[in-house]
Chains A and B, each alone.
Chain A
Amino acid sequence: MINKKGMEFSWIFAVIIGIVILFLAFYFVGSKITRQDTQEATGTVNSLDILFNPFSYLGAMGAVTSKPIGLSKESSFTFDCDSVDLGSNTISLDTGVSRAVYDKYIFADNFRAKTIQTLSKSFEMPWRIADLIYVFTGDYCFVNVPLDLENELSKLEINNLQIAESLSECQENSTIVCFGSSCQIKVVSTSGNYYQGYVEKNGEDLYFSGDNYALLLGAIFSRDKAYYDCNVQRLAYRLGLEIQVYEKKKEELIQDGCVININLDTLKQVDAALKSRVNQNSINGLYNEAKNIENLNYNSECPLF
Protein backbone atom coordinates (compact mmCIF):
# COMPACT_ATOMS: atom_id res chain seq x y z
CA MET A 1 0.00 0.00 0.00
CA ILE A 2 2.76 2.40 1.05
CA ASN A 3 4.74 1.39 -2.02
CA LYS A 4 1.78 2.16 -4.25
CA LYS A 5 1.34 5.59 -2.61
CA GLY A 6 5.06 6.24 -2.92
CA MET A 7 4.95 5.31 -6.59
CA GLU A 8 1.93 7.64 -7.19
CA PHE A 9 3.71 10.51 -5.45
CA SER A 10 6.92 9.96 -7.40
CA TRP A 11 4.97 9.99 -10.66
CA ILE A 12 3.11 13.21 -9.77
CA PHE A 13 6.38 14.78 -8.60
CA ALA A 14 8.20 13.77 -11.80
CA VAL A 15 5.35 15.09 -14.00
CA ILE A 16 5.28 18.46 -12.16
CA ILE A 17 9.05 18.84 -12.37
CA GLY A 18 8.94 17.80 -16.04
CA ILE A 19 6.30 20.45 -16.77
CA VAL A 20 8.36 23.09 -14.94
CA ILE A 21 11.51 22.15 -16.89
CA LEU A 22 9.64 22.13 -20.22
CA PHE A 23 7.99 25.47 -19.41
CA LEU A 24 11.34 27.02 -18.52
CA ALA A 25 12.90 25.63 -21.71
CA PHE A 26 10.11 27.00 -23.95
CA TYR A 27 10.11 30.32 -22.10
CA PHE A 28 13.88 30.62 -22.43
CA VAL A 29 13.91 29.77 -26.16
CA GLY A 30 10.91 32.05 -26.84
CA SER A 31 12.38 35.02 -25.01
CA LYS A 32 15.74 34.44 -26.70
CA ILE A 33 14.10 34.58 -30.17
CA THR A 34 12.09 37.70 -29.27
CA ARG A 35 15.17 39.38 -27.82
CA GLN A 36 17.19 38.55 -30.91
CA ASP A 37 14.49 40.07 -33.16
CA THR A 38 14.36 43.23 -31.03
CA GLN A 39 18.16 43.39 -31.03
CA GLU A 40 18.26 43.08 -34.84
CA ALA A 41 15.49 45.67 -35.28
CA THR A 42 17.26 48.11 -32.92
CA GLY A 43 20.45 47.61 -34.90
CA THR A 44 18.62 48.19 -38.23
CA VAL A 45 16.89 51.38 -37.07
CA ASN A 46 20.06 52.81 -35.53
CA SER A 47 22.14 51.82 -38.55
CA LEU A 48 19.64 53.56 -40.81
CA ASP A 49 20.01 56.73 -38.73
CA ILE A 50 23.81 56.45 -39.00
CA LEU A 51 23.53 55.66 -42.73
CA PHE A 52 21.56 58.87 -43.23
CA ASN A 53 24.26 60.97 -41.53
CA PRO A 54 26.37 61.48 -44.66
CA PHE A 55 23.26 62.60 -46.53
CA SER A 56 22.60 65.32 -43.98
CA TYR A 57 25.77 67.29 -44.66
CA LEU A 58 26.27 67.27 -48.39
CA GLY A 59 25.09 70.83 -48.78
CA ALA A 60 24.13 70.47 -52.42
CA MET A 61 22.13 68.04 -54.52
CA GLY A 62 23.93 64.86 -53.89
CA ALA A 63 23.83 61.20 -53.48
CA VAL A 64 26.54 59.56 -51.42
CA THR A 65 25.89 56.75 -53.77
CA SER A 66 23.46 56.61 -56.63
CA LYS A 67 23.20 52.87 -55.99
CA PRO A 68 20.36 51.79 -53.71
CA ILE A 69 21.22 51.11 -50.07
CA GLY A 70 20.71 47.48 -49.05
CA LEU A 71 19.32 46.64 -45.62
CA SER A 72 20.06 43.45 -43.71
CA LYS A 73 16.56 42.08 -44.35
CA GLU A 74 13.26 43.21 -45.82
CA SER A 75 11.55 45.43 -43.27
CA SER A 76 8.50 47.66 -42.99
CA PHE A 77 9.37 51.24 -42.15
CA THR A 78 7.01 53.96 -41.05
CA PHE A 79 7.94 57.60 -40.67
CA ASP A 80 6.32 60.01 -38.26
CA CYS A 81 6.89 63.65 -37.58
CA ASP A 82 6.64 65.83 -34.51
CA SER A 83 6.92 69.60 -34.92
CA VAL A 84 7.29 70.71 -31.30
CA ASP A 85 10.42 72.91 -31.05
CA LEU A 86 13.21 71.32 -33.13
CA GLY A 87 10.83 68.44 -33.71
CA SER A 88 11.80 65.02 -34.90
CA ASN A 89 11.26 62.35 -37.50
CA THR A 90 10.63 58.94 -36.00
CA ILE A 91 11.72 55.90 -37.97
CA SER A 92 9.79 52.81 -36.83
CA LEU A 93 10.02 49.18 -37.78
CA ASP A 94 7.06 46.78 -37.82
CA THR A 95 8.57 45.06 -34.79
CA GLY A 96 7.76 48.15 -32.75
CA VAL A 97 11.33 49.39 -32.47
CA SER A 98 11.67 53.07 -33.30
CA ARG A 99 14.19 55.89 -33.21
CA ALA A 100 13.53 59.62 -33.17
CA VAL A 101 16.00 61.74 -35.14
CA TYR A 102 16.13 65.44 -34.35
CA ASP A 103 18.81 66.61 -36.78
CA LYS A 104 17.43 65.16 -39.99
CA TYR A 105 14.56 66.15 -42.23
CA ILE A 106 13.44 62.95 -43.91
CA PHE A 107 10.89 63.24 -46.69
CA ALA A 108 9.56 59.75 -47.29
CA ASP A 109 6.52 57.54 -47.58
CA ASN A 110 6.04 54.42 -45.45
CA PHE A 111 7.44 51.37 -47.20
CA ARG A 112 8.38 47.72 -46.99
CA ALA A 113 11.66 47.04 -48.77
CA LYS A 114 15.10 45.52 -48.59
CA THR A 115 16.74 48.26 -50.66
CA ILE A 116 16.09 51.98 -50.49
CA GLN A 117 17.14 54.95 -52.61
CA THR A 118 18.31 58.06 -50.82
CA LEU A 119 19.02 61.57 -52.08
CA SER A 120 19.85 64.79 -50.36
CA LYS A 121 19.48 68.48 -51.20
CA SER A 122 20.19 71.62 -49.23
CA PHE A 123 17.30 73.86 -48.23
CA GLU A 124 18.37 77.49 -48.60
CA MET A 125 16.18 80.32 -47.39
CA PRO A 126 18.24 82.59 -47.71
CA TRP A 127 21.23 80.69 -46.29
CA ARG A 128 21.54 76.90 -46.04
CA ILE A 129 19.15 75.98 -43.24
CA ALA A 130 19.53 72.21 -43.38
CA ASP A 131 19.91 69.35 -45.82
CA LEU A 132 16.78 67.50 -46.71
CA ILE A 133 16.88 63.74 -47.14
CA TYR A 134 14.58 62.03 -49.62
CA VAL A 135 14.01 58.32 -49.20
CA PHE A 136 12.04 56.30 -51.71
CA THR A 137 11.55 52.80 -53.02
CA GLY A 138 10.07 51.68 -56.30
CA ASP A 139 10.32 53.44 -59.64
CA TYR A 140 9.52 57.10 -60.26
CA CYS A 141 9.01 58.76 -63.63
CA PHE A 142 9.28 62.57 -63.86
CA VAL A 143 7.56 64.04 -66.92
CA ASN A 144 8.40 67.51 -68.32
CA VAL A 145 10.89 68.36 -65.58
CA PRO A 146 12.33 71.92 -65.60
CA LEU A 147 15.67 71.84 -67.41
CA ASP A 148 17.92 72.75 -64.44
CA LEU A 149 16.33 70.07 -62.24
CA GLU A 150 16.54 67.56 -65.10
CA ASN A 151 20.27 68.24 -65.43
CA GLU A 152 20.82 67.77 -61.69
CA LEU A 153 18.87 64.51 -61.54
CA SER A 154 20.36 63.10 -64.75
CA LYS A 155 23.89 63.53 -63.40
CA LEU A 156 23.05 61.23 -60.49
CA GLU A 157 22.15 58.37 -62.85
CA ILE A 158 19.63 56.82 -60.49
CA ASN A 159 18.20 53.66 -61.97
CA ASN A 160 14.75 53.95 -60.43
CA LEU A 161 14.25 57.62 -61.31
CA GLN A 162 13.33 58.07 -64.95
CA ILE A 163 13.18 61.45 -66.67
CA ALA A 164 10.67 61.45 -69.52
CA GLU A 165 9.22 63.95 -71.95
CA SER A 166 5.80 62.35 -72.16
CA LEU A 167 3.64 59.99 -70.10
CA SER A 168 3.95 57.22 -72.70
CA GLU A 169 7.71 56.99 -72.11
CA CYS A 170 7.21 56.04 -68.46
CA GLN A 171 7.72 52.44 -67.43
CA GLU A 172 4.75 50.45 -66.21
CA ASN A 173 4.17 50.42 -62.41
CA SER A 174 6.25 53.52 -61.86
CA THR A 175 4.90 56.44 -59.85
CA ILE A 176 4.39 59.22 -62.39
CA VAL A 177 5.10 62.83 -61.49
CA CYS A 178 3.92 65.37 -64.07
CA PHE A 179 5.11 68.94 -64.19
CA GLY A 180 2.24 71.04 -65.54
CA SER A 181 -0.08 68.24 -66.65
CA SER A 182 -2.37 65.87 -64.78
CA CYS A 183 -1.36 62.42 -63.52
CA GLN A 184 -0.76 60.58 -60.23
CA ILE A 185 1.32 63.38 -58.73
CA LYS A 186 0.88 66.78 -60.35
CA VAL A 187 3.31 69.67 -59.85
CA VAL A 188 1.68 73.06 -60.38
CA SER A 189 3.74 76.23 -60.72
CA THR A 190 2.26 79.54 -59.60
CA SER A 191 5.35 81.50 -60.67
CA GLY A 192 5.94 80.04 -64.13
CA ASN A 193 9.30 78.51 -63.23
CA TYR A 194 8.39 76.02 -60.45
CA TYR A 195 10.10 78.19 -57.83
CA GLN A 196 6.70 78.63 -56.20
CA GLY A 197 3.67 76.39 -56.44
CA TYR A 198 2.14 73.24 -55.07
CA VAL A 199 2.19 69.49 -55.53
CA GLU A 200 -1.23 67.88 -55.96
CA LYS A 201 -1.15 64.40 -54.45
CA ASN A 202 -3.98 62.16 -53.24
CA GLY A 203 -6.36 65.13 -53.29
CA GLU A 204 -4.10 67.31 -51.13
CA ASP A 205 -2.06 70.39 -52.03
CA LEU A 206 1.50 70.49 -50.66
CA TYR A 207 2.88 74.03 -51.02
CA PHE A 208 6.50 74.69 -51.89
CA SER A 209 8.84 77.54 -52.77
CA GLY A 210 12.56 77.92 -53.33
CA ASP A 211 14.73 78.18 -56.40
CA ASN A 212 16.65 74.93 -55.87
CA TYR A 213 13.55 72.68 -55.81
CA ALA A 214 14.37 71.25 -52.37
CA LEU A 215 10.83 71.57 -50.99
CA LEU A 216 9.30 70.58 -54.34
CA LEU A 217 11.10 67.23 -54.16
CA GLY A 218 10.17 66.97 -50.47
CA ALA A 219 6.50 67.34 -51.40
CA ILE A 220 6.78 64.68 -54.11
CA PHE A 221 8.39 62.06 -51.85
CA SER A 222 6.43 62.83 -48.65
CA ARG A 223 3.83 60.43 -47.31
CA ASP A 224 1.07 63.06 -47.13
CA LYS A 225 0.39 66.73 -46.46
CA ALA A 226 0.44 66.42 -42.67
CA TYR A 227 3.89 64.80 -42.69
CA TYR A 228 5.25 67.31 -45.24
CA ASP A 229 3.84 70.36 -43.42
CA CYS A 230 5.27 69.07 -40.14
CA ASN A 231 8.77 68.89 -41.64
CA VAL A 232 8.37 72.37 -43.16
CA GLN A 233 7.40 73.68 -39.70
CA ARG A 234 10.48 71.98 -38.21
CA LEU A 235 12.61 73.74 -40.84
CA ALA A 236 10.94 77.05 -39.95
CA TYR A 237 11.84 76.50 -36.29
CA ARG A 238 15.44 75.68 -37.25
CA LEU A 239 15.56 78.89 -39.33
CA GLY A 240 14.34 80.78 -36.25
CA LEU A 241 17.32 79.46 -34.27
CA GLU A 242 19.72 80.28 -37.10
CA ILE A 243 18.36 83.84 -37.23
CA GLN A 244 19.46 84.15 -33.58
CA VAL A 245 22.97 82.95 -34.55
CA TYR A 246 23.16 85.43 -37.43
CA GLU A 247 21.87 88.28 -35.24
CA LYS A 248 24.73 87.63 -32.81
CA LYS A 249 27.18 87.31 -35.70
CA LYS A 250 25.92 90.67 -37.00
CA GLU A 251 26.66 92.23 -33.57
CA GLU A 252 30.20 90.77 -33.67
CA LEU A 253 30.80 92.11 -37.18
CA ILE A 254 29.48 95.58 -36.24
CA GLN A 255 31.86 95.59 -33.25
CA ASP A 256 34.68 94.85 -35.71
CA GLY A 257 33.76 98.00 -37.64
CA CYS A 258 31.49 96.54 -40.32
CA VAL A 259 28.47 98.41 -41.66
CA ILE A 260 25.61 95.98 -42.18
CA ASN A 261 22.23 97.09 -43.45
CA ILE A 262 20.61 93.68 -43.30
CA ASN A 263 17.59 93.60 -41.00
CA LEU A 264 16.44 90.14 -40.01
CA ASP A 265 13.23 91.27 -38.26
CA THR A 266 10.96 90.74 -41.28
CA LEU A 267 12.52 87.34 -41.90
CA LYS A 268 11.73 86.49 -38.28
CA GLN A 269 8.10 87.51 -38.78
CA VAL A 270 7.55 85.54 -42.00
CA ASP A 271 9.31 82.58 -40.43
CA ALA A 272 6.98 82.70 -37.42
CA ALA A 273 3.99 82.81 -39.82
CA LEU A 274 5.27 79.68 -41.61
CA LYS A 275 5.91 77.94 -38.29
CA SER A 276 2.29 78.48 -37.25
CA ARG A 277 0.71 77.56 -40.60
CA VAL A 278 2.00 76.18 -43.89
CA ASN A 279 0.13 77.63 -46.86
CA GLN A 280 0.94 79.29 -50.17
CA ASN A 281 1.06 82.77 -48.58
CA SER A 282 3.35 81.86 -45.68
CA ILE A 283 5.73 79.83 -47.83
CA ASN A 284 5.87 82.51 -50.55
CA GLY A 285 6.33 85.19 -47.89
CA LEU A 286 9.43 83.42 -46.63
CA TYR A 287 10.78 82.95 -50.16
CA ASN A 288 10.30 86.61 -51.10
CA GLU A 289 11.94 87.90 -47.91
CA ALA A 290 14.79 85.41 -48.31
CA LYS A 291 15.45 86.68 -51.85
CA ASN A 292 15.40 90.24 -50.52
CA ILE A 293 17.98 89.44 -47.80
CA GLU A 294 20.07 87.45 -50.28
CA ASN A 295 20.35 90.55 -52.52
CA LEU A 296 21.22 92.80 -49.56
CA ASN A 297 23.86 90.33 -48.41
CA TYR A 298 25.34 90.03 -51.92
CA ASN A 299 25.75 93.80 -52.18
CA SER A 300 27.00 94.23 -48.62
CA GLU A 301 30.62 95.15 -47.88
CA CYS A 302 30.49 92.80 -44.90
CA PRO A 303 28.36 89.83 -45.95
CA LEU A 304 26.56 88.09 -43.12
CA PHE A 305 26.48 84.71 -44.84
Chain B
Amino acid sequence: MKKGQMKIQEMAFVLIAVIILFGIIFLFYARFEFNKVQSLSTELREERAITFIRTVASMPELRCSESILKVSEAACLDLDKLKAFNSSLSLRNSYRKIWTSSYITEVVVQEIFPGNSIYKIYDETPGEESYFSFMPLCSKDKCIIARLIVSIRLK
Protein backbone atom coordinates (compact mmCIF):
# COMPACT_ATOMS: atom_id res chain seq x y z
CA MET B 1 0.00 0.00 0.00
CA LYS B 2 1.25 3.46 -0.92
CA LYS B 3 1.86 6.11 1.69
CA GLY B 4 -0.88 8.35 0.18
CA GLN B 5 -3.42 5.53 0.28
CA MET B 6 -2.49 4.83 3.89
CA LYS B 7 -3.11 8.48 4.80
CA ILE B 8 -6.52 8.50 3.06
CA GLN B 9 -7.47 5.27 4.81
CA GLU B 10 -6.38 6.72 8.14
CA MET B 11 -8.43 9.83 7.50
CA ALA B 12 -11.46 7.71 6.55
CA PHE B 13 -11.19 5.71 9.78
CA VAL B 14 -10.80 8.86 11.84
CA LEU B 15 -13.87 10.34 10.12
CA ILE B 16 -15.90 7.18 10.74
CA ALA B 17 -14.87 7.26 14.40
CA VAL B 18 -15.78 10.96 14.66
CA ILE B 19 -19.19 10.32 13.02
CA ILE B 20 -19.86 7.39 15.39
CA LEU B 21 -18.86 9.57 18.35
CA PHE B 22 -21.16 12.39 17.23
CA GLY B 23 -23.92 9.84 16.61
CA ILE B 24 -23.63 8.54 20.16
CA ILE B 25 -23.62 12.09 21.57
CA PHE B 26 -26.66 12.92 19.43
CA LEU B 27 -28.51 9.82 20.68
CA PHE B 28 -27.87 10.80 24.30
CA TYR B 29 -28.94 14.36 23.56
CA ALA B 30 -32.12 13.19 21.76
CA ARG B 31 -32.97 10.96 24.72
CA PHE B 32 -32.40 13.90 27.10
CA GLU B 33 -34.59 16.20 24.98
CA PHE B 34 -37.29 13.54 24.68
CA ASN B 35 -37.37 13.10 28.46
CA LYS B 36 -37.56 16.87 28.91
CA VAL B 37 -40.53 17.20 26.52
CA GLN B 38 -42.21 14.18 28.10
CA SER B 39 -41.84 15.59 31.61
CA LEU B 40 -43.23 18.94 30.40
CA SER B 41 -46.18 17.12 28.89
CA THR B 42 -46.77 15.12 32.12
CA GLU B 43 -46.52 18.33 34.14
CA LEU B 44 -49.15 20.01 31.93
CA ARG B 45 -51.45 16.98 32.21
CA GLU B 46 -51.09 16.92 35.98
CA GLU B 47 -51.75 20.68 36.21
CA ARG B 48 -54.80 20.27 34.03
CA ALA B 49 -56.08 17.33 36.10
CA ILE B 50 -55.68 19.26 39.35
CA THR B 51 -57.50 22.34 38.06
CA PHE B 52 -60.01 20.04 36.40
CA ILE B 53 -61.17 18.60 39.74
CA ARG B 54 -62.68 21.97 40.58
CA THR B 55 -64.08 22.32 37.09
CA VAL B 56 -65.76 18.92 37.34
CA ALA B 57 -67.10 19.70 40.82
CA SER B 58 -68.66 22.89 39.54
CA MET B 59 -70.17 21.48 36.35
CA PRO B 60 -73.88 22.34 36.32
CA GLU B 61 -74.52 18.70 35.36
CA LEU B 62 -73.14 17.53 38.73
CA ARG B 63 -73.18 20.45 41.12
CA CYS B 64 -75.92 20.91 43.71
CA SER B 65 -78.77 23.08 42.57
CA GLU B 66 -79.53 26.23 44.52
CA SER B 67 -82.67 24.56 45.88
CA ILE B 68 -80.75 21.86 47.78
CA LEU B 69 -78.81 23.95 50.25
CA LYS B 70 -80.95 27.07 49.80
CA VAL B 71 -77.88 29.11 48.94
CA SER B 72 -76.52 30.04 45.56
CA GLU B 73 -73.37 28.29 44.41
CA ALA B 74 -73.48 25.52 47.00
CA ALA B 75 -70.18 23.63 46.83
CA CYS B 76 -71.59 20.11 46.78
CA LEU B 77 -72.47 17.37 44.32
CA ASP B 78 -76.09 16.48 43.58
CA LEU B 79 -76.75 12.80 44.28
CA ASP B 80 -79.74 12.63 41.92
CA LYS B 81 -77.67 14.06 39.04
CA LEU B 82 -74.91 11.52 39.73
CA LYS B 83 -77.49 8.73 39.62
CA ALA B 84 -78.58 10.04 36.21
CA PHE B 85 -75.01 9.71 34.92
CA ASN B 86 -74.45 6.38 36.59
CA SER B 87 -77.53 4.86 34.98
CA SER B 88 -77.05 6.23 31.47
CA LEU B 89 -74.12 5.16 29.32
CA SER B 90 -75.23 7.46 26.48
CA LEU B 91 -75.20 10.45 28.84
CA ARG B 92 -71.71 9.51 30.06
CA ASN B 93 -70.50 9.17 26.49
CA SER B 94 -71.96 12.54 25.49
CA TYR B 95 -69.25 14.26 27.52
CA ARG B 96 -66.44 11.99 26.27
CA LYS B 97 -64.68 14.76 24.30
CA ILE B 98 -64.33 16.95 27.38
CA TRP B 99 -62.53 14.17 29.24
CA THR B 100 -60.40 12.75 26.45
CA SER B 101 -59.13 16.18 25.37
CA SER B 102 -57.67 16.56 28.86
CA TYR B 103 -56.26 12.98 28.95
CA ILE B 104 -58.78 12.06 31.65
CA THR B 105 -59.62 8.38 31.64
CA GLU B 106 -61.92 8.07 34.63
CA VAL B 107 -64.14 10.36 36.71
CA VAL B 108 -65.97 8.74 39.61
CA VAL B 109 -67.56 9.81 42.87
CA GLN B 110 -67.13 7.46 45.78
CA GLU B 111 -69.19 7.71 48.95
CA ILE B 112 -66.93 7.76 52.01
CA PHE B 113 -69.21 8.02 55.00
CA PRO B 114 -71.74 6.57 55.47
CA GLY B 115 -71.92 4.08 52.61
CA ASN B 116 -69.42 3.19 49.92
CA SER B 117 -71.33 3.40 46.63
CA ILE B 118 -69.49 4.46 43.51
CA TYR B 119 -71.05 6.67 40.85
CA LYS B 120 -69.49 6.67 37.39
CA ILE B 121 -69.36 9.91 35.48
CA TYR B 122 -66.86 8.70 32.91
CA ASP B 123 -65.02 5.40 32.81
CA GLU B 124 -62.86 4.67 29.79
CA THR B 125 -60.03 2.83 31.54
CA PRO B 126 -58.43 3.15 34.98
CA GLY B 127 -55.89 5.97 34.77
CA GLU B 128 -52.19 5.88 35.57
CA GLU B 129 -52.45 8.60 38.18
CA SER B 130 -55.42 9.71 40.26
CA TYR B 131 -56.25 12.94 42.04
CA PHE B 132 -59.13 13.40 44.41
CA SER B 133 -60.98 15.94 46.46
CA PHE B 134 -63.47 15.44 49.30
CA MET B 135 -66.91 16.85 48.55
CA PRO B 136 -70.33 16.82 50.25
CA LEU B 137 -72.74 14.67 48.25
CA CYS B 138 -76.28 15.92 48.82
CA SER B 139 -79.81 14.94 47.99
CA LYS B 140 -83.10 16.68 48.84
CA ASP B 141 -82.90 15.99 52.56
CA LYS B 142 -79.37 14.90 53.51
CA CYS B 143 -75.67 15.22 52.73
CA ILE B 144 -72.93 12.61 53.00
CA ILE B 145 -69.16 12.77 52.52
CA ALA B 146 -67.79 11.63 49.18
CA ARG B 147 -64.61 11.68 47.18
CA LEU B 148 -64.41 13.01 43.62
CA ILE B 149 -61.68 11.05 41.83
CA VAL B 150 -60.16 12.13 38.52
CA SER B 151 -57.69 9.73 36.84
CA ILE B 152 -55.40 10.70 33.99
CA ARG B 153 -53.29 9.02 31.34
CA LEU B 154 -49.67 10.19 31.66
CA LYS B 155 -48.28 9.03 28.29
Contact = CB atoms under 8 A, between A and B. Distances in A.
Interface of A: 2-3, 6-7, 9-10, 13-14, 17, 24, 28, 35, 39, 43, 46-47, 49-50, 53-54, 56-57, 59-60, 85-86, 88, 100-103, 127-130, 241-242, 244-245, 248-249, 252-253, 256, 258, 297, 302-305
B84 A59 contact: no
B101 A127 contact: no
Interface string B1-40: 0101101100110010000001000100000010001001
B61 A10 contact: no
A242 B94 contact: no
Interface residues on B, range: 35 or more
A102 B101 contact: yes
Contact of B54 (A54, A100, A297): A54
B61 A9 contact: no
Contact of B97 (A7, A13, A85, A129): A85
A100 B101 contact: yes
B132 interface: no
Given A49-B48, A102-B101, A7 B15 contact: no
B2 A2 contact: yes
Contacts of B26: 28
A12 to B, nearest CB: 11
Given A10-B7, A53-B54, A86-B97, A248 B83 contact: yes
A102 B11 contact: no
Contacts of B117: none
Nearest to B61: A245
Interface of B: 2, 4-5, 7-8, 11-12, 15, 22, 26, 33, 37, 40, 44, 47-48, 51-52, 54-55, 57-61, 65-67, 72-73, 78, 80-81, 83-85, 87-88, 91, 94-95, 97-98, 101, 140
Given A54-B54, A56-B55, A245 B101 contact: no
A53 B54 CA distance: 9
A305 B60 CA distance: 10
Contact of A245 (B5, B37, B48, B81): B81
Given A245-B81, A297-B67, 16 more contacts: A14-B11, A47-B44, A57-B54, A57-B57, A86-B98, A101-B101, A127-B60, A241-B61, A242-B60, A244-B91, A249-B80, A249-B81, A252-B80, A253-B80, A256-B140, A258-B140
B84 A241 contact: no
Nearest to A20: B19
B143 to A, nearest CB: 16
A129 B72 CA distance: 14
A28 B33 CA distance: 13
Contacts of A102: 97-98, 101
B37 A130 contact: no
A30 to B, nearest CB: 15
* Most B C-beta atoms less than 10 A away, residue of A9, A46, A304: A46
B91 A245 contact: yes
